[in-house]
Structure 1
Amino acid sequence: MRATIKDVARESGVSVSAVSMALSDKPSRISRETKQKVKEVAERLHYQPNRAALSLVNRESKMIAIVMNDIRNTHIAAEFMAINRELSGKGYSLLSHILEEQTRDSSMKLIRQIAAENVAALIWAKPLEVDNMEDLQSLRKSVEGLGIPVITMDDYGFDCPGVDVCFDYRQGGFLATEHLLELGHRRIGCLAGDRTYQVTQERIDGYRRALENFDVPYDEKLVYYGDYTMGSGYEAFSYLMGQGVSAIFSSNDEMAFGLYRAARNYGIHIPTDISLVGFDNVPFADIMETPLTTVRVPSVEMGGFIGRTAIELLGTTRDEKRKKILYKPDLLRRGSAIAKDV
C-alpha cells in the first residue's frame, strides 16, 4: 500500500503541514534537524507526493520528465533531440534532469523532485548499473510509486505502465568483433566504457562470444575500460598498442575518435597499422579522413519512438503490462578495418 503524507507525519512526530514544508526545500520555519528527519522517514516509506493534489483542477499536465546522466555524447544528444521534437510537436514540454552523481541518495532526491513537478510521464534514460541490487530495488519502489507511465532504455524490471526501449548491444559487440576476426585479426583490443554499466558488459559479452566462435581465447589484458569520452579513447591507445593488438573494437564512436587522434600523434596509420571498428554511427563517423567502420544505432529513430510512445502511454491504466522493444544493430563497413597481413 502506498504511503501517504499522514504516514510520514505520524512516523516523524510532526504535523502534515510540517511534512509538506520539510519536503519542499523552500525556506520555512522548519528546523534543519526536522527536515532531515522527515526526509529520512519519507525515503524509508518510499513516500511520493500525490500528483493529483498538485494538479490544477480538471487540467492535465503537459510536461514529461527525462532523466539522463550525460548529454555530451553525440549519440545521446541526437536521441534527446528526437524525443523533444516529437513531444513539442504535440504540445508537450520536456523537463530535463541531469543526474551525474552515482548515489542512491541523489536518485531518491531527484525522484521526490519529479513527483512534485506534476509530470505526466517519465523517461528514465540513465544507464542501468550492475551489481547493486539494493539500490536497484529502492529505485524500483520509488519510480513505481510515482504512479505515472515510465519509459526506460534498459530493462530495469519496473512494474508499472510503460515501455523498455532497448538496443541489442550484445549483438552489436558480436558483429564488430566478428568482422575483425573475419579479416584475419586474432589479437583484438576491446575499448570498453564505464565498467559499472549494464550496456558496457553487454558489449563485452558480444566481443567474447565472437572470440569464442573463432576459438580465440579471451584475454582480459586486451580490455581497457574508458568512460565513453574522446579523452578516454586517446588515453587507451598507448596501452592497447603496447599489448600488441592488430585491431581495436571501440564501444562507441566518441572513444574511437580519441583513438584516431592518438594514432595521428604517434604517427600510426588507420587502417594500415591498426584496424578499428566503432559503435553508434554518430555524425562525422563517415567523413573522417579514413571513414570509420561502425555498428549503427538508430538514435533518431529510437528517440522519435520514445517521444511518440510517451504520449500514447498517457491513457493507459495501472494494470497494463509493460512492453519491451529491442532494436537490432547492423554493421556499416567503411575504410577503418582491413585484412591483416599474414
Structure 2
Amino acid sequence: MPTLSEVARHAGVTPATVSNVLRNRGRVGATTRQRVLDAVQALGYRPHLAARALAEGRAPTLALMVSSIANPFYPEFALAVERAARTSGHFVIICNTNEDPLTGRAYLDQIAGTLSEGVLVTNANLDFADLHTTESRGTPVVLCMWERPDEPPGLPCVAVDFRRAGELAGTHLLELGHRRIGAIVGSKASGIHAARYEGFVDALRASGAPKSRVKHAADTIQGGYAAARALLESDPKLTAIFATNDLPALGAMHAAADLGLHVPTDLSVIGITDIQLARESRPALTTVAVPTAEVAGLAVSLLRELIESSYGQAGRDPAGVPMRISSPPELVVRASTGAPRSR
C-alpha cells in the first residue's frame, strides 16, 4: 500500500502539502492541489486513519450523538451531517444512546478526544455535566437543534425557534376555523417539546380560542396513536389535533382511521419537523418544517471552528459561548388539514 511520502515524491511536493490537500487545510495552489490529487489517484493511496490520529494527536472523525436511530429524523439528520463533514475531510461516527444517559456517558468517555475530534449532540438525553466534562478535557461539544434560542444552554449550540414552529401550527388550524383542538406533546411537560407546545398555546391564547385538551406521549407513532385515541374518545367533537412532532401526528392519523374518521374532512392533523414520512403518508401530513440540512451544516461548521481554536480550555469566558440560529421554521400545507366540519 502506498504511503503519504510516496504520494509526495510522485507529486513533487512535501508530505505536509499532501496532508493539507487531503484534509482541505492550509493554502495550496490550484495547480499543486490537482497534482497531489492526480498522484493520489495514480498510486491508489488511502490514508490510514488510525496512524493519522496517532501522528497528529487528533482523529479525522466527528461523533454524532442521537437518542434513537429508530426515529427516522435521526438518520435524515445524520445524512446531512455526514455530507457537511465530508467537505472538511471528516468522517462521522453515529453514537446511538437509546435514550440512556449511561450509554451516552460511555460513548463520551470512550470516543470523545480519541476516536473523534469533536462531538455533535442532538436530543440524546445526556447529562450537561458530562458534556461540560468532555469539553473541559479539550474535546469541543456542539448541541444541535437547541429548541430555545432565547435561553442559551451554556454550551455551543445551533438553535431553532421551535416555539415559533408551534405558533405557526396553531395559527394554521385557527385560520382554517378550528376551535376544538387537541394537542399531543411528544415529551414530558418540562421536556424537550415544551417550547413547541408553548408556541401553540400562544396562538390559541392570542385568538381567544378555548384551551386545548393535551396528552403527553412517547415521541413515536404508537405514542401518538394512543394519545389521539384517548383525546378523541374523551372529546368526540374535536376537529383537529396538533402534535409536537411528525411521528405522533402520523399516529394520530392512524387512530382517526381506526375510529372511522376521515382526515381532513372529520379531523385535521398537523405536526412539526417535516420528515420524509410526512411527505409520503396518505394523506400527506401538513407540518411545520425545520431547516434540517441547514442546522447540520451550521453545527459541523461551528464544531470545526471550535476544533481549530482554543475554545474549551480553562479560563474561557462563559459569556462567549457561541450560538448559531437557523432560518425560521416554515409551514408546509399538505392534505391532512382543512376546514372543520361539525360532527
In the superposition, the TM-score normalised over structure 2's length comes to 0.73
Please give the residue correspondences for 1:1-342 in structure 2 after superposition, counting only pairs within 5 Å. 56-103=54-101, 105-115=102-112, 117-127=114-124, 136=128, 138-153=129-144, 154=146, 157-158=153-154, 163-195=156-188, 198-219=191-212, 222-242=213-233, 243-244=235-236, 245-318=238-311, 319=316, 321-327=320-326, 328-341=328-341
Q: Distance in 1 between matches of 2:231 and 2:249?
A: 13
| Contact 1:191 1:249 (C-alpha < 8 Å) held by counterparts | yes
Amino acid at match of 1:332: V
Give how far 1:69 is off.
1.0
Give how far 1:206 is off.
0.7
Q: Percent identity of the aligned residues?
A: 28
Greater relative contact order (Cα < 8 A, sep 6+): 1
Amino acid at match of 2:323: K
Q: Distance in 1 between matches of 2:112 and 2:292?
A: 28
1:208-253 deviations in Å (ceiling 9; x for gaps): 111110123435xx11112221111221221111223110001111
Give how far 1:67 is off.
1.4
Give how far 1:277 is off.
1.1
| Contact 1:193 1:251 (C-alpha < 8 Å) held by counterparts | yes
Give how far 1:117 is off.
2.5
| Contact 1:87 1:93 (C-alpha < 8 Å) held by counterparts | yes
Between the two proteins, the alignment pairs up a number of residues equal to 277
Q: Distance in 2 between matches of 1:170 and 1:101?
A: 23
Q: Distance in 2 between matches of 1:290 and 1:66?
A: 33
In structure 2, the CA distance between the partners of 1:292 and 1:58, relative to structure 1 (3 Å rule), is closer
Give how far 1:269 is off.
0.1
In structure 2, the CA distance between the partners of 1:102 and 1:196, relative to structure 1 (3 Å rule), is farther
Give how far 1:141 is off.
3.7
| Contact 2:64 2:93 (C-alpha < 8 Å) held by counterparts | yes
Q: Which sits farther off after the overlay, 308-317 or 324-333? A: 308-317
Gaps of 5+ in 1: 1-54, 130-134
Q: Distance in 2 between matches of 1:118 and 1:339?
A: 53
SS of 2:183's partner is strand
Give how far 1:158 is off.
3.4
Q: Distance in 1 between matches of 2:91 and 2:182?
A: 43
Amino acid at match of 1:330: E
Give how far 1:197 is off.
6.2
| Contact 2:58 2:116 (C-alpha < 8 Å) held by counterparts | no
SS of 1:90's partner is coil
Q: Structure 1 runs of 4+ off > 6 angstroms?
A: none
Q: Distance in 2 between matches of 1:173 and 1:264?
A: 25
SS of 1:216's partner is coil
Q: Distance in 2 between matches of 1:281 and 1:140?
A: 29
In structure 2, the CA distance between the partners of 1:249 and 1:333, relative to structure 1 (3 Å rule), is same
SS of 1:95's partner is strand
Q: Distance in 1 between matches of 2:253 and 2:104?
A: 36
| Contact 1:128 1:197 (C-alpha < 8 Å) held by counterparts | no
1:123-172 deviations in Å (ceiling 9; x for gaps): 1223568xxxxx54x3354233221221102277335xxx3112111110
In structure 2, the CA distance between the partners of 1:336 and 1:58, relative to structure 1 (3 Å rule), is closer
In structure 2, the CA distance between the partners of 1:217 and 1:260, relative to structure 1 (3 Å rule), is closer
| Contact 1:174 1:203 (C-alpha < 8 Å) held by counterparts | yes
In the superposition, the TM-score normalised over structure 1's length comes to 0.73
Give how far 1:102 is off.
3.9
Q: Distance in 2 between matches of 1:165 and 1:198?
A: 18
In structure 2, the CA distance between the partners of 1:122 and 1:341, relative to structure 1 (3 Å rule), is same
Q: Distance in 2 between matches of 1:145 and 1:236?
A: 42
Give how far 1:71 is off.
2.0
Q: Distance in 2 between matches of 1:127 and 1:184?
A: 37
| Contact 1:127 1:197 (C-alpha < 8 Å) held by counterparts | no
